[in-house]
Amino acid sequence: MLASLTSKFKFNKEESLELLKGLIKPQTEYKTIYIDKKTTTINLNKSEKIDIILSPAYYWVREEKLPVKYEFQAKNLLPSIFDGILSDGNYSYSTYKKRSDYAKSNDLQNSSWLVYAYDDTIISNKLDSLGINDSSIHSIYFAQSELESINSPIQIDEQEALVKHDNILITMPLSLTNDAKDIKEVVSLNRRTAHSININRYRNLPISEKSINIIAVTLIAFIGLFLTEFIMNKNSLKELYIESAKITKTYRLPTTSFELNSMKKGLKKLASKQEELRAKTQFILNAPLIKNEHLSLLELKNSKFIVKVNLAEAKRAEAIKNYWQKEVSIKSIKVKDNTLSAKISL
């Protein structure tokens, strides 16, 4: 596997081992820029992404033996390590185990860690002054992590150089160094490590980070709540649609409301017509007949009643007519030989 990695990415054996350990990143196409306090301009295309190496002027670094195994455990100790050393301000901290001690994962007493403190606001302001947007930055590194493997002095500009003193990179006048390599050449040949840092560029917001976290968590909780309700409502609506379809299928109803209304109207008309027929029949039959009078015929044909009543005397027709007229429409009425014949509309 090591051999195949080496051949594929053209790494030497030492680099391949470091790559496997996560100590360095695979070669990237990002341009690397070294920034110190004297840097005033940089040439940068709008769409170009860059890696940034910060000079020792932007961080405090110490080598410490920490009784911890993992980075997250070490991070908890960092504020106390720098307590009393740093001036007032909001600092962020970063650490990693020294490259040479990486293998000593179980040797807690003898593992050395490089611990850093840095002021996000100062770095952020510098990046802003150089016109470097967040979108242009791929990663930010400290000079210590990226250049500590270089043993010879590194020339930063015409006056200063970086040199290693007790494994810590410091800035010195160039005149005091010999055989200094050019910084541009060093960063272009040297591969970036995995020790990039996070800059909190929004530390100076009107509300504190804690408040932002509380607001965000509250909002997320409410979003979760409403999302659950939304999903439940969506399911309930789906069930109601299914129920509606079931009703239509069970009762064999037409699918459109137009057809349904038409069907309902037709059936209701039929029902009311039949109710009317029964009511009018009952009314006609209840005519106020006296002794020796009887209904001889009651017929319903073509929506018309034909009624014949044998009267006691002809003048009784008026009383019966008056009664019927209260509720039914008499089309014609005649009396012949004491027999009243009437046609009544349904």
Partner 1 sequence: MNKINPLYIIGLLLFLLILLVYKNGTLETKLQTQEIINKQTLKEAKEIASLKRAFKSANRNKTALNSILNHPQLKKYSVQKEVSKTSMSIKLENINKKAFDTLSSKLFNSTLKIDSFAFERMNENNISVEAEVAL
Q: Which stretch binds partner 1 (CB under 8 A): 58-66, 80-88, 247-255, 314-322?
A: 247-255
Under the criterion CB under 8 A, does residue 86 sit at the interface with partner 1?
Answer: no
DSSP letter at 238 equals: H
Asked if 112 contacts 25 with a C-beta cutoff of 8 angstroms, the reply is no
User: Binding string to partner 1 for residues 202 to 241, with x set by CB under 8 A, is what?
Assistant: x--x---x--x--xx--xx-xx--xx-xx--xx-xx--xx
Which x/- pattern, by CB under 8 A, does the window 121-150 give for partner 1? -------------xx-x-xx----------
78-94 burial string, b = 16+ CB within 10 Å, else e?
A: beebeeeeeeeeebbbb
- For residue 303, the minimal CB distance to partner 1 (Å) is 9
Local structure of residue 152 (DSSP, 8 states) = S
Token representation of residue 246: 């079931």
Residue 110: DSSP 8-state: T
Return d(Cα 160, Cα 178) in angstroms, integer.
12
Q: What is residue 292's three-state secondary structure?
A: coil
Give min distance, CB of 250 to partner 1, in A.
Answer: 8
Q: Quick one: three-class SS letters along 24-89?
A: ECCCCCCEEEEECCCCCCCCCCCCCCEEEEECHHHCEEEEEECCCCCHHHHHHHHHHHHCCCCCCC
Which two structure tokens, joined as six digits, stand for 251?
């009762």
Identified binder of partner 1 from the candidate list 2, 86, 271, 314, rule CB under 8 A: 271
Whole-angstrom distance, CA of residue 92 vs CA of residue 288: 109
Residues making up the chain, counted from first to last: 346
* Residue from 188, 248, 255, 329 binding partner 1 (CB under 8 A): 248
Nearest distance from C-beta of residue 32 to partner 1, angstroms: 16
Check binding of 103 to partner 1 (CB under 8 A): no
Please, are residues 133 and 50 in contact by the beta-carbon 8 Å criterion? no
Q: Interface with partner 1 includes 75 (CB under 8 A)? A: no
- CB of residue 48 vs partner 1: minimum separation in angstroms? 16
- Record the tokens describing residue 330, joined without a space: 């008499």
Task: Give me the 289-308 binding string for partner 1, x by CB under 8 A, dash otherwise.
Answer: -----xxxxxxxxx------
Work out the angle at residue 81's Cα, subtended by the Cα atoms of residues 79 and 82, and round it to the nearest 5 degrees.
70
Q: Take residue 312 and report the two structure tokens written for it.
A: 């006691």
- Smallest distance, partner 1 to C-beta of residue 264, A: 6
Binding mask 160-199 for partner 1 (x = CB under 8 A): -------------------------------------xxx
Q: Is 319 in the site for partner 1 (CB under 8 A)?
A: no
Under the binding rule (CB under 8 A), the answer on residue 263 touching partner 1 is yes
Residues in contact with partner 1, counted by CB under 8 A, come to a total of 58
282 binds partner 1 (CB under 8 A): yes
Residue 50 found at the interface with partner 1 (CB under 8 A): no
Strand order through the sheet with 112-119 = 60-65, 112-119, 91-97
State the nearest-atom distance from the C-beta of 5 to partner 1, in Å.
Answer: 29
Nearer to partner 1 by Cβ, of 9 and 222: the residue is 222
Contact 336, 317 (CB under 8 A): no
Residues forming the site for partner 1 (CB under 8 A): 134-135, 137, 139-140, 197-202, 205, 209, 212, 215-216, 219-220, 222-223, 226-227, 229-230, 233-234, 236-237, 240-241, 243-244, 247-248, 250-251, 253, 260, 263-264, 267-268, 270-271, 274, 277-278, 281-282, 294-302
